[in-house]
Each structure stands twice: as C-alpha cells, then as structure tokens.
Amino acid sequence: MAILTARRRFQRLALVAAVFLTAYLLLRRTSHIPPHEDRRRVKYVAASFDWAARRPTHPVDKATMTRMPPGIPRQLPRIQHEFTQDELGASHNQTQRARRDAVRHAAERSWRTYREHAWGRDEIAPLTLRGQDSFAGWGATAVDSLDSLWIMDMKDEFQHVVRHVATIDWDKPTSSLCSLFETTIRFLGGLLAAYDLSRDRVLLDKAVELGEMLYAGFDTPNHMPANSFNFRAAKEGRLAAGTNEASAAAASLSLEFTRLSQLTGDPKYYHAIDGVTRALDKTQDSTKLPGMWPVFVDLKNDFLTPGHGFSLGASADSAYEYLSKMHALLGGLDPVYEKLHTKAMATAKQHLLFRPMLPDSPAPAPAPAPDILFSGSVFASGTGEADLNPEVQHLACFAGGMFALGGRLFGDDGDVQTGERLARGCAWAYGAFPTGIMPEVSEVVACQTAGGEAGGGGGNLAACAWDEARWEQHGKHPKPFASVRDSSYLLRPEAIESIFVLYRITGKADLLDVAWQMFESIRKATETELAHSAIKDVQAAGETVKTDAMESFWIAETLKYFYLIFSEPELISLDDYVLNTEAHPFRVPKPGDGSLRADISRAM
C-alpha cells in the first residue's frame, strides 16, 4: 500500500506539473513578449495619472477608426549594399574596429559624466557639470541614449537606465507643458527602439503609459495634434492645434505612433497619425509650391497651407524624412507614402537643390571641383515663381540619406546619386572651415544656370565656372561661402547620418575615411575635461569656445551614427530597421517574420 500511495502521489505531482507546464507554454505561445522577461525584477512605478482612463472631449468612433492596412508585408527592395569578403577584409576591419572603439570611448566618457553629475535630469552642462531640464525633467539623456547603450554593448548601463525608466512618473514633470513632437521622438521613440532591441517588457509598458498621454494631444476639435502639450489643459480636454505650427511637428509622429500600434495591437495610435497623412495627401498639389508643404501650416483650421516658405531644414525636415520610412514600416502596404515622397522629392530637386560655385583645386595637385549639392530654401509666390535662397543648414544635411533611401525603396537610382551628392556636399562643408566642422547656418554663392543638366530636374544643379569677383562681393569667408549667419556647432548628427546611410547603400569605402575625418574634427573641437560640448564658432583657428551644452542627441544620434558606420554592416541593417529622426531603430515587419507576425495581427 505504501508503494501504491507513493506512486499515486508521484502521478498527481506529475499531473500538476504537466498542467502548469501546459499553461506556461500556452502563455508563451500567445504572448508576443518573450517569456524570460519579468517586470518584477525592477521596481515598477505606474504613472500617478491614468491617461487611459481619461474621458476624451472629442471622442473617436471606434467603428470608423482607421486601422493599419491589412495584408502580409511586401518584400521590399534591398536597401543595403551586399558587402563582399574582399570589401570587409582583415586590414579593413582592424582599422574600422579601432575607429569604432574611439567613438565608444567618447560615448562612455560622455555617459559617465551625465550619470555622475546629472543623473535623472534631461541634460548635463559639460563644463559646469550641472544638471538641467529642457524636456519636462523625465531624464531625456537617459531615455534617448537607451538604444545607443545597447548597440554599443554597454549592457550594464542599459540595465541601470531600465531601472530608472521603470520609475518615471509622467505626471510629475518639471514644467507645465512639453512639446508633443520632442517628447514623441526622444522619449517614446527611445523606449520603443530599446524594446525592439532588447524585448524588455518594462520598456514597452512605459511606452504605453507615455503613448496614452501623448494620444491626448490629438483630442482636439479636428483631431489635429496640439504640439504645445499643456498637461492641465490636456487632462481637461482643452487642447487645440496651432494656427502656425511647424510642419515637422505635425507630420513627424507617424513612425512612433505606428510602431506603438504594431506592438500593442491598439489601432488608435495609428488612426491618430493617419489623419495627418490624409491631410498631407489632400493638400500636396495645392500649396504655393505644389509637391511640398510650407514650413508652417495651420492645423487648427483643417490643415491650411497658406505659407510662402519651403525648406528641407529647420521646422520642416522630418516631415519629409518620415514618408519613405513609413512606407517601409508598413511593409509597403499603403501606397500613399510612396506618392507623397516621390512628389515631394521631385519638387525639391527642381526648386530647392542647388550646386555651389566652386573653384578647382589649386596646384600642386590640381583637380576639378567636386560634384556636390546643397539644399536651400525657397520663397514661392504661388504664381509659378520660386526664389531660391542658397542657405546651408546643418539640419538639412539629413536630406542626402533621405534621397538615397527613397531611391532604393522606389527604384530610382538617380535619387541615390542625388543623395550621394548632397551627403558629400555637407562633408565638403565640414572641411571648408578651420575646425573641420560646418556651421549651423551659412550661405554660399550658388551656380546660376538657365537650363540645368540632363536629368537633373532643375536649373541650379549643373556645374559652373568659378567667378572670383562674384564671390568677393560677399566678403572674405571660405570659398564659396557668402556669409555665416550662425557659426555654432551644437553636436548635431545630420551630416554623419547621411554619410552613414550612403555608405551602407553604396558600399563606397572612401566614405569611411570621410566619416573618420569628421569624427576627429568634432572630437578635437568639442572635447572638454570630462565630456563634449557645443562650440560657439566653427571658424575659430585655435582653441574653440565651448557653450556648456550637450543635448541628448549627442549620444542618441551623433555618436550612434559614428559607431554604426565603423561597425559590421549587419548591426542595425537598413533592411531590418527604420530609424526615426532621433536615430531610434524600429524593426521592419517582413513576410514570414514570426517574431513580428503576432504584433501585426493584433493591430488588424
């Protein structure tokens, strides 16, 4: 009997274990979160205000809510160059590893200084070593740098930030309002990308909390986003979209909100940004420069576009950047993004892009002027006239990567070449100044041609002869610069961003040397005792004057792009990820990708 009883006990224990094992496997199969994740390992503090429970003033009818386009993601064209073993030989890799390690060292010392002197604050002032809050005090540098820490294999520091993220209370800001745009690209984008890389559930939970809050920014009479996000007004449903809002602020929420819908299965985030997309589509051909949208738009009155100013620079930039990237993130299932992108790029080529008037290289090594382009700004009358201002904004240097990426996605080799000319233009501008860094805003003497080059699309893209007298009319800036309106460098990433994208797309090895020269120039000009700082004047011949500023994008973007260009091409492949305007990588759904199929199906 004793033997029989023991056997029955064993059978019962085995049955109980089988039940628990079956339940565990079922939960594992039905969840899109890997089972090893356990939120209990960190102290999780839920936000003290439940934005999900807030009753909207202008509710959306769930029956008519726009959902993500159905279907299996298309097989998109290959974006990255197929690197051969010869291209990635031993000596090549050894050089790039040394360069990558130098970048990592700069990131480590910058991060260490932030952690030791400004932990939990938005930014560190690298000279006075004071913490400061520019983005509501939730720790912008920490959250923005999360995926950089992961990518650079600083995993202990990554886990330290995760523990901090778990305790963020979005209802305890240091100011009465925040920018919907900045909070989305830095905080929400940072959390989503870090989740896509690590699959740590804490990050997604906090992203959902934040997403619920930011979604309230669309609770306006016409459901256009209110970029000036006043916390009290948002809680009370009193937000309204602006009448003179930056087009980038309105149209650069789509990647983050779409990825949040993909990961949670809640379509409301995608529905919110789809309204902006449809407004872009409706107005694209009726602006004063058809094909593009003015820098500032009237969102309050149903997306009016009366403005005369057009640019790929400040306040407009990422509105265009996100079009091709949304095409990729949606697996090519919504044709509107290809249409919006190709029309906008055609208009930009015709009116905004221009070739600078350049001298040939002098003896003893004479060479023809480089084949480069810049993107300026345009004042359009609406009657067919468009006056080009040949300004060069560092912010607009992202355009090289944008043209090249769109060219690959949409089968336009000419746009890839245009992208390369733009990327090399900004790299050339770096070398034109004593510090080896281009200024924030300058103006060059542009070529003036009547007919334009074959296939160029505009009258400002063809080469022209150097005219010394014409340049001298503007003063004695480096050739061919006519003026320098803002001579600072703010640790910005846009120039290296385009060089990185063009290297990954074309495989041209000389771009690695271009990137290294840029990094070395930036390192020398911005290095402080413990970190790196923005500088006052890139024209300084000797020691630079530091301005005691280090925004979160220094680690999140600039150093990340430098690190990636010197790393193996498989690390954050452009075929596997799209990077938001803050360089946060979101995983691209693909046919047969089991790790994402559950995410996508939940959003249908």
Task: Give the per-residue SS3 of 105-123.
Answer: HHHHHHHHHHHHHHCCCCE
Does residue 2 lie in a domain region?
A: no
More confidently predicted of 604 and 99: 99
The Cα 237–Cα 452 span in angstroms is 52
Of 14-28, 306-320, 459-473, 560-574, which range is least confident?
14-28
439 within domain boundaries: yes
Give me the DSSP letters along 164-178: HHTT--TT--SSSEE
Q: How many CA atoms are closer than 13 Å to the CA of 198, on its beta-carbon side?
A: 28
* Tokens found for residue 156: 């202990």
* Domain assignment of residue 560, yes or no: yes
In a domain, 10, yes or no: no
Domain that holds residue 210: 25-602
The whole-number average pLDDT for the span 211-220 is: 98
pLDDT in tens, 509-538: 999 999 999 999 999 999 999 999 999 999
CA pseudo-torsion sign 186, 189, 193, 194: positive
Q: Which residues are catalytic?
A: 182, 317, 440, 494
Percent of the chain with pLDDT over 70: 89
Over 80: is that where the pLDDT of 213 sits?
yes
> How does pLDDT run across 342-352, given as a tens digit for each residue?
999 999 999 99
- pLDDT at position 384 is 83
pLDDT for res 600? 42
Task: Identify the band that residue 449 occupies on the pLDDT scale cut at 50, 70 and 90.
Answer: low
Burial class (CB in 10 A: 0-12, 13-18, 19+), 7: exposed
Which pLDDT score, from 0 to 100, does residue 149 have? 98
Q: Is residue 586 part of a domain?
A: yes
DSSP 67: -
> Residue 115's domain is classified under what CATH number?
1.50.10.10
Confirm whether 553 is domain-assigned. Answer: yes
pLDDT mean over 588-594: 80
528 annotated ligand-binding residue: no
| Position 16 confidence tier, pLDDT thresholds 50, 70, 90 | very low
Asked if residue 572 is part of any domain, the answer here is yes
Long-range contacts at 539-545 (CB < 8 A, ≥ 24 apart): 539/433, 539/434, 539/435, 539/439, 539/484, 539/487, 540/434, 540/435, 541/434, 544/435
| Confidence tier at 59 by pLDDT (50, 70, 90) | very high
- Lowest mean per-residue pLDDT among 33-42, 250-259, 438-447, 583-592: 33-42
Instruction: Assess if residue 513 is contained within a domain.
Output: yes
What's the rounded mean pLDDT across residues 282-302? 97
Q: How many domains does the chain have?
A: 1
